[in-house]
Amino acid sequence: MKRRKFIQNASLSGIGIAVGSTLANCKPKEESNGENPVAFSSDVTKYPLVIATWNVPESTAKAWEVIDEGSSALDAIEQGCMVEEANEKGQSVGIGGLPDRDGKVTLDACIMNKEGNYGAVVCMQNIVHPISVARKVMEDTPHVILAGKGAEQFAVSVGFKREDLLTEASRKAWEEWKVKSEYKPIINIENHDTIGMLAIDKNGDISGGCTTSGLAYKMAGRVGDSPIIGSGLFIDNEIGGATATGLGEEVLKTVGSFLIVELMRQGRTPQQACEEAIGRIIKKSPNYNDFQVGYIAVNKDGETGMYSIHEHFSATVYQNGENTNIKSDFYNKS
Ligand code: GLY
pLDDT by 10s per residue, the chain, length 334: 332 222 233 333 333 323 322 333 333 333 333 333 333 334 567 899 999 999 999 999 999 999 999 999 999 999 999 999 999 999 999 999 999 999 999 999 999 999 999 999 999 999 999 999 999 999 999 999 999 999 999 999 999 999 999 999 999 999 999 998 887 766 665 556 899 999 999 999 999 999 999 999 999 999 999 999 999 999 999 999 999 999 999 999 999 999 999 999 999 999 999 999 999 999 999 999 999 999 999 999 999 999 999 999 999 999 999 999 999 999 999 8
* Distance, CA of 230 to CA of 119 (rounded, Å): 12
- 214 C-beta closer than 6 A to ligand 1: yes
Query: Does any ligand 1 atom lie closer than 6 A to the CB of residue 328?
Result: no
Q: Do the beta carbons of residue 126 and residue 152 sit within 8 Å? A: yes
306 by Cβ neighbours in 10 Å (0-12 / 13-18 / 19+) ranks as buried
Q: Can 194 be counted among the known catalytic residues? A: yes
Name the residue among 121, 91, 102 with its Cα closest to residue 190: 91
- Phi then psi dihedrals of residue 320, to 5 deg: 55, 35
Residue 45: the pLDDT is 77
Catalytic residue among 60, 194, 245, 316: 194
- pLDDT score at 11: 38
Question: How far is Cα 263 from Cα 276, in angstroms, rounded to an integer?
Answer: 8
Handedness of CA 231, 106, 57, 138 (dihedral sign): negative
What are the backbone dihedrals phi and psi of residue 108, each rounded to the nearest 5 degrees, phi first? -125, 140
- Spacing, Cα 37 to ligand 1 middle (Å): 34
Residue nearest atom 4 of ligand 1, based on CA coordinates: 248
Phi-psi bin for 80: left (phi > 0), alpha (psi -120 to 50), beta? alpha
What's this model's pTM, rounded to 2 decimal places?
Answer: 0.87
Residue 8 CA, distance from chain mean position: 24
Question: Using CA atoms, how far apart are residues 243 and 237, in angstroms rounded to an integer?
Answer: 14
Q: What pLDDT score was predicted for residue 191?
A: 55
Residue 334: predicted pLDDT: 85
Report the distance separating Cα 319 and Cα 9, nearest Å.
Answer: 13
What residue ranges define each of the domains in the chain, with the CATH number in brackets? 3-330 (3.60.20.30)
pLDDT confidence of residue 321: 93
| Number of Cβ within a 10 Å radius of residue 247 | 23
Under 8 Å CB-to-CB from 168, ≥6 apart: which residues?
Answer: none
CA proximity to 166, closest of 217, 238, 227: 217
State the angle between helix axes of 256-265 and 270-284 in degrees (0 to 180), rounded to the nearest 10.
140
Helix axis angle for 130-140 and 73-85, nearest 10°, is: 150
Give the alpha-carbon dihedral of 320, 296, 152, 160, to 10 degrees: 10
The pLDDT assigned to 221 comes to 97
Separation CA 301–CA 240 (nearest Å): 8
pLDDT on residue 33 = 39
